[in-house]
A and B are shown apart, each in its own frame.
Chain A
């Protein structure tokens, strides 16, 4: 969505909204923020202002007419912080390097504002700031997931990078499922409603090769050394079902199979891909446990994409979420050797 310079508008999702003020040409924004656009939602008087200081875009956050400090955001990012780059000294500021785009200086924190030192990536940082603000101020959490739908049921495919989410989502679309996105999904903690960051799938070479009918598209370099294929898979015109979802935890490659996943394991795995406004591990685990309790969860061994997609569609077509919620998860049969307490080693942080 391209907008004219010096424009302002409200974006939002669920119970969150913010006013965006651009004094510069506006880069395309992810459609997710426009899903529930409604200026009446903007009750928090938050404003994100993007202006130009010379050639350098500056991002400021204003709340209740007072400028806010964005330094907390830098603590949440995965790069390095330092106070000098080459001959340039940043004694009164803090420079952040983004490991995704190499180790070059990316952001400078100055008086609470963020100055984007690599303007060609400014849309990424605007998106990052908006996501951070949304998770911080709203009842939403994000998960790294691909989302498709079969009928009125949303299929949330969860897993780390290279787990096969995008490829499987493409295969699902080819088999007739509704496709929505392959990067991020958002859950409202209050009622479990699902929102999707709608975008075309980005396939890696290995994944594209596995598809029986590879979609058209173009190659690009997502990160240095990580080529991806922007596949032109049409996003469904039907709104993504938000009330009924099933979580599939992608669990390696082999013969396509769905098996139960214990609630504890599902909780830990979900917590690992969760974006949360609260950095406390215990809070994130609680949120993950709530989502696991709310939705049916399954372990999915990924086979050939098309066969796996057919299996998933047949499975989802045959169940209703309410019934599946009763049957999935750890089996409740007693085999004489019950699994007892398992301490989660990753929680000891």
Chain B
């Protein structure tokens, strides 16, 4: 019985993550805006950014690219603007598909719960 409960809980958790990721991607498709990041304390760690979850003490390290995308997650910046900033900061050739990388990074943010969700009534993803 506890195993079954754990299995159901895991399914429920995975479903929520999946929906959060879909919300983020659908939100970008419909509005062109990046979602809003959660207000989490951050601290530079060399060229990376240390982001802490105050509730459970978990720590995320964002590399330079992810940090730039993270900073664009204000609910007002478009994917196009974010892509332009990325290309400028990292001298990215035009033939490189930056948009896909941005979406994958946002999915990763959503997977790790770094993006505000609809449940908090603050999300712009849905």
Binding site for B on A (CB under 8 A): 262-267, 281-282, 285-286, 288-290, 292-293, 297, 328-330, 332-334, 336-344, 347-349
Contacts and interface: CB of A to CB of B under 8 A. Distances in A.
Given A289-B43, A293-B45, A338 B65 contact: yes
**Majority SS of interface residues in chain B?**
mixed
B46 A330 contact: yes
A277 B64 CA distance: 31
Interface of B: 43-48, 50-52, 56-66, 86, 89-92, 96-97, 101, 104-105, 108-109, 112, 114
A328 B46 CA distance: 9
Contacts of B101: 336-338
B90 A341 contact: no
Nearest to B43: A289
B60 A344 contact: yes
Contacts of A262: 46-48, 61, 63
B114 A293 contact: no
Contacts of A286: 43, 50
Which 10 pairs, one residue from A and one from B, show the smallest C-beta to C-beta distance? A263-B46, A264-B61, A334-B90, A338-B65, A263-B48, A347-B59, A289-B45, A263-B45, A329-B46, A267-B45
Given A334-B86, A339-B66, 15 more contacts: A262-B63, A263-B44, A263-B45, A263-B47, A281-B57, A286-B50, A289-B45, A297-B46, A329-B46, A329-B48, A332-B47, A340-B63, A343-B112, A347-B58, A349-B57
Which of A263, A341, A344, A348 is most buried by chain B, counting CB atoms within 10 A of its CB? A341
Contact of A342 (B44, B52, B60, B104): B60
B90 A282 contact: no
Given A266-B45, A267-B50, A285 B59 contact: yes
